[in-house]
Amino acid sequence: VEVNFDFGESADEMLEGYRWMMETLAPTTVGIPICMMDDRWTDGEITGFYGEMRAIAEEYAARMRWS
């Protein structure tokens, strides 16, 4: 399942949406977030956001039933 965050959501809203997606879909369905960022994001904000998304992704992967 692809979930688009492309309506100007803040970083916090995208993180919250991804966590909700993980909690809803795991352990049987993989969800891929597509996050749109514009030129207002700084390199540091993008790097921090990546780290937070990755933490959720690692938790998500651990919950999955990989058969």
pLDDT at 3 over 90: yes
CA-based nearest residue to 63, from 20, 31, 23: 23
Tens digits of per-residue pLDDT, 8-64? 999 999 999 999 999 999 999 999 999 999 999 999 999 999 999 999 999 999 999
pLDDT score, position 58: 97
How far apart CA 43 and CA 21 sit, in angstroms, is: 26
Q: Residue 67's pLDDT band (boundaries 50, 70, 90)?
A: confident
Dihedrals phi, psi of 48, to nearest 5 degrees: -65, -40
Write down the pTM of the prediction: 0.90
